Structure 1
Amino acid sequence: MKLLFLLFIVFPLSFSYNYLIFCPLFGHSHTTFFAKIADTLTDAGHNVTFFTPTIIRKFAKMNYVKSTKHVVHLEPSEKLERYGSFLENNDILRFWTDDASMSELFPMIELFNSMFLEQAAVLGKNLELLDELKALKFDVMIYESFVECAYPLLDYLEIKTFIPSTSIAYDPNLLESIGEPRMPSAVPLPMSKFTDKMSLIERTLNAIAPPIFNFFLSKPEFKSFRPPYSKIDIPSQESLSSFVFTNSNPYLDYPRPTIEKNVQIGGISVDFEKLKSQKVNKEWDEILNLRPKTVLVSFGSVMFSKDMPMENKLALAKVMKQFPEVTFIWKYESNDTDSFAKGIENIHFSNWVPQTALLADSRLSAFFTHAGLGSINEVSYLGKPALVCPLFADQMRNAKMLVRHNGSIEVSKYELHDAKKIEEVLRKLLFDDSYRIASENLARQLANQPVKPKELLLRHAEFAAQFGRLPSLDPYSRQMSFISYFLLDVAATVLFIVLLITSITFRITKLLINCLPFTLSSVKQKNN
């Protein structure tokens, strides 16, 4: 009996692995994504350490993980905290009116590079803490792919197996590093305003943007924390990863060729069964019962409605007034609503809304959103028509990604002042049943996809811990030259052979033609 009891104890322990989730605190959605990875592995019985060096102070006060108990914090240097403050207070409000062009991204990327260099310096000055982590003998480390200070940490902790991951839907640089083919002709870039159906000019821009970025942006150098403090070759390290986790879902994103190392876990942060069972409290229940239809309006946790231009607020309030049979729940972060919506009874303003619980409620008719990836995943899984208004960054791509499923409509942020336009698309979304039917169909597909994102994450994370690096999954195409990869040498060889055969045939034909008169003349003389 004692032996049986010991077997019950030892058996599950023998199949638990040690995971380190490295997640510097610089962004809410980024941290939410990696916290969900940590909790998923913890819930499966594994030992998970959530290592969260602070960059933006307010995020350190938030409890992102639920079941993961071993959370390790690290205080920032004054310089790193200044980077965090600048990032937090950066003038992103201008994106309510300014274009989020490629040129706008250069200074932001330079900021991130400098910030992660300083984060590496902070890690290097806290080797005592790193030694404590090293003693835990982690099997696998998971981290955001562009947080490149993860590589000296990997080196110091001597973790051989690692899984770079991305909290956005598509990172061509990461995927190209593991040998996945890039299709600029049909797959738009992360910050792109294009769809998969691009014009000649759009395809050109989509193709040349990455090399332009790589040419003009300087790559920071990260060095080992151990003597002789040699430079770490990050591109070659990325190719050694067992897998990469991407926040993409093949049933939602643009279809594209992938390889086995790319594990798409998009939607992992959406606990479908839990969300469907969520109930709103009495206050929100009463609000949802006020009118036959209800629309939720929220522009996320980074861009606030209170900061949009006044002409946009006035136009939206005017539009909402035109729908007396619809209740509008507007996430609005200030008390100045009388300046643009005084006396409009069907608008309910709130500093905070239970977004997922409202989306899961059958009485909610539509969602007016900024197209952040978290909101896109939630509205897709919960089957609600959406009016999407992207403001900047990957929201442009996210919006078009959702619209292609025919359950949503996109409006430009430059059209928010046009009350007539907004009323037209909102009326179509609310009263044309085709949008509801398409949204519900997408939700059913996501709910019944053959392999759930959580299972994909768990099985591949365990497989990596068990077998380590997987050179058999590293495509040889990654090492091929441009000429070999695109068969230009084959094309040149075939062209040469064709030209050679054509030339020989031409010469023989010409020779025969030249000989023909002489032959005919000889025959004629012989006959005479």
Structure 2
Amino acid sequence: MRLLLHIILLGSVTPFKFLAYSPQLAKSHVNFLGKISDVLIEAGHEVVILSPLLDSSLGFAGSKKARVIEVPQCTEARAYEEFMQNSNAANAWTKGDSLQAFFEWGNLTYSWVAQCNATIAHPGLLESLREEKFDVAFAEMIDFCAPGLFHLLGIEKWVITDSLAINDAHFFYTHTPSNPAYVPTMMGGSMGEEMSFSERFDNLLTFCFSKWFNEYFFPVYDEMFRTHDREIPSVEELFGTNSLVFTNSEPLVDFPRPSSARMIDIGGIVTSTGHKQMDADRISEGIPNLVETTWAPQSDLLHDPRISAFITHCGQGSITEAIDAGVPLIVVPIAYDQLRNAQQVKRNGHGIMLEKTELENPEKLRNAVKEVLENPSYHEKALKIKLMLEDRPFAMKEIFIRNMEFLAKYGPLRQLGHYGRKLNFFQYYLIDVIAAVLGVALVILIIAFFLVISVVRLLKRILGIKKVKAD
């Protein structure tokens, strides 16, 4: 019966054609774009994945169902691949605060710009893509190639997707107000929503630096794009033309934050993030109750009723899989958004967080494992979150599919963009209005002050005259 209903629904859907821009830059990002592409394909639509090889060692575009167009790696992009394979992994355990990551990634941005240029200039590519006549395009904004590429292809209906729970840049792209006083930034380090003065200062600094970091590279992309089209709008202007932003955030789990009509949460739409073969380290030698493997079906293992807890680095994919299975956690965040994810686990009470430096003390890890295994509250809260997500009013896949279909029919959805993006800094934060009100209030106070002085002087004069007459 369900199969028959599925066939009937597919038959009633007008198929649309989607373009996914998904450079091969990291396994988790590629898998997420591939999985949501599969969601659209399963709903009866066609998806083409444009997949430039930033890191050729990945060797997979994230989907076996979509049609994939790979673009060869350019010479400059080799530096990015070497970073991902060597220094990035080697330094993960010794990195300082997350601001350090901005500088590391900043040096790699030029590799992304070069690969973007090579993609646009690839012989016959733009012409063949234009002939496809795509209804909607989507991409993750790790690099800024997509807005310019979609413009060159003449695709007006496009959306931003993100494999992360929340990217600070989402607030900039949509001009949604955010408050660093209680919303932890993606790269803000190990802090939750309740922050001390110094943590709020650090969070604000990271938020401002994130905005500056994004805007710093806009001109670099602008210069490159204008070698292909002199009249192309700036990257900043093009960002304002996106219709929707899909975040891999689950409101029932993530930190509460401001939002806008253009930001749609689809956290949990992907509950299995593929696999990556690891090198054998032989750490299990001599330990009888430890199984070491270069790969394991993580999602399947987490759903095994014999699993009592899960120790993880707190990547977004691992957290999503653990929540879906209702398994309590011991989280040891290493870098980047993992620190923020770990604070979510701590806030929701379904796991214990350890700093990576605490692993030097075996007793702390032993105590954390013992606490999670022996205290039933962690399992109870993990199970409650699992049941809450299963009982949501709307499935995340349905939300994603219906919004994409709606955009294909009626987009671009310009009416969702608020006028605030056209205001300057003083207008946006009402500084001009506040200044005017304070100015008027100050003038009134000054006038009132001088009126009081004048009245006092007048009264003194009158009283002085009466006193003279009385004498």
What TM-score results when the alignment is normalised by the length of structure 1?
0.80
Give the 3 Å change call, closer, same or farther, for CA 413–11 of structure 1 in structure 2: closer
Distance 1:9 1:246 in 2: 27
Give the 3 Å change call, closer, same or farther, for CA 432–41 of structure 1 in structure 2: same
Distance 2:345 2:407 in 1: 32
**Match for 2:173 among 174, 177, 201?**
177
Equivalent residue runs for 1:120-139 within 5 Å? 120-139=116-135
Does residue 266 (structure 1) correspond to residue 209 (structure 2)? The answer is: no
Distance 2:71 2:217 in 1: 28
**Match for 1:401 among 312, 328, 344?**
344
Q: Report the alpha carbon displacement of residue 186 of structure 1 after superposing the two structures with TM.
A: 1.0
Which 10-residue stretch deviates more, 404-413 or 93-102?
Answer: 93-102
Letter matched to residue 46 of structure 1: H
Q: Is the 8 A contact 1:164 1:238 kept in 2?
A: no
Query: What are the ranges of 5 or more consecutive residues in structure 2 without an aligned counterpart?
Result: 1-7
Give the 3 Å change call, closer, same or farther, for CA 16–104 of structure 1 in structure 2: closer
Equivalent residue runs for 1:85-100 within 5 Å? 85-100=82-97
Equivalent residue runs for 1:410-449 within 5 Å? 410-449=353-392
Does residue 147 (structure 1) correspond to residue 148 (structure 2)? The answer is: no
Q: Is the 8 A contact 1:25 1:59 kept in 2?
A: yes
**Match for 1:346 among 289, 302, 305?**
289
Give the 3 Å change call, closer, same or farther, for CA 23–505 of structure 1 in structure 2: same
Counterpart residue number, 1:17: 16
Counterpart residue number, 2:152: 156
Q: Is the 8 A contact 2:172 2:211 kept in 1?
A: no
Q: Report the alpha carbon displacement of residue 496 of structure 1 after superposing the two structures with TM.
A: 2.4
Q: Is the 8 A contact 1:177 1:478 kept in 2?
A: no
Letter matched to residue 20 of structure 2: I
Counterpart residue number, 2:36: 37
Q: Is the 8 A contact 2:188 2:202 kept in 1?
A: no
Q: Is the 8 A contact 2:346 2:353 kept in 1?
A: yes
Percent identity reads 29
Distance 1:224 1:207 in 2: 32
Query: What are the ranges of 5 or more consecutive residues in structure 1 without an aligned counterpart?
Result: 1-7, 276-299, 307-332
Does residue 114 (structure 1) correspond to residue 100 (structure 2)? The answer is: no
Give the 3 Å change call, closer, same or farther, for CA 152–480 of structure 1 in structure 2: closer
The C-alpha deviation readout for 1:215-270, integer Å capped at 9, x for no partner, is 57544224448865455511111111111111111111110110010111121112
Equivalent residue runs for 1:463-502 within 5 Å? 463-502=406-445
Give the 3 Å change call, closer, same or farther, for CA 525–80 of structure 1 in structure 2: closer
Give the 3 Å change call, closer, same or farther, for CA 371–173 of structure 1 in structure 2: same
Q: Is the 8 A contact 2:40 2:47 kept in 1?
A: yes
Letter matched to residue 151 of structure 2: D
Counterpart residue number, 1:384: 327
Distance 2:384 2:305 in 1: 15
Counterpart residue number, 1:65: 63
**Match for 1:206 among 203, 221, 229?**
203
Q: Is the 8 A contact 1:409 1:429 kept in 2?
A: yes
Letter matched to residue 404 of structure 1: R
Q: Is the 8 A contact 2:95 2:335 kept in 1?
A: no
Q: Report the alpha carbon displacement of residue 363 of structure 1 after superposing the two structures with TM.
A: 1.7
Which 10-residue stretch deviates more, 143-152 or 27-36?
Answer: 143-152
SS at match of 1:368: strand
Counterpart residue number, 2:282: 335
What is the root-mean-square deviation of aligned Cα atoms in Å? 2.7
Distance 1:518 1:98 in 2: 77
Give the 3 Å change call, closer, same or farther, for CA 511–130 of structure 1 in structure 2: closer
Counterpart residue number, 2:304: 361
Aligned length: 459
Q: Report the alpha carbon displacement of residue 464 of structure 1 after superposing the two structures with TM.
A: 1.4
Distance 2:10 2:94 in 1: 60
Give the 3 Å change call, closer, same or farther, for CA 513–488 of structure 1 in structure 2: same
Q: Report the alpha carbon displacement of residue 368 of structure 1 after superposing the two structures with TM.
A: 0.3
Q: Is the 8 A contact 1:142 1:162 kept in 2?
A: yes
Give the 3 Å change call, closer, same or farther, for CA 487–91 of structure 1 in structure 2: closer
Give the 3 Å change call, closer, same or farther, for CA 100–209 of structure 1 in structure 2: closer
Which 10-residue stretch deviates more, 387-396 or 216-225?
Answer: 216-225
Q: Report the alpha carbon displacement of residue 430 of structure 1 after superposing the two structures with TM.
A: 0.6
Q: Report the alpha carbon displacement of residue 489 of structure 1 after superposing the two structures with TM.
A: 2.2
Give the 3 Å change call, closer, same or farther, for CA 84–10 of structure 1 in structure 2: closer
Distance 2:200 2:307 in 1: 38
Q: Report the alpha carbon displacement of residue 416 of structure 1 after superposing the two structures with TM.
A: 0.7
Give the 3 Å change call, closer, same or farther, for CA 384–9 of structure 1 in structure 2: closer
Q: Report the alpha carbon displacement of residue 35 of structure 1 after superposing the two structures with TM.
A: 0.6
Give the 3 Å change call, closer, same or farther, for CA 221–74 of structure 1 in structure 2: closer
Distance 2:330 2:352 in 1: 5
Q: Report the alpha carbon displacement of residue 80 of structure 1 after superposing the two structures with TM.
A: 3.0
Distance 1:131 1:142 in 2: 19
Q: Is the 8 A contact 1:385 1:408 kept in 2?
A: yes
Letter matched to residue 353 of structure 1: A
Equivalent residue runs for 1:203-352 within 5 Å? 203-212=200-209, 215=212, 217-219=216-218, 220-222=220-222, 223-224=224-225, 228-230=229-231, 232-270=233-271, 333-338=280-285, 342=286, 344-352=287-295
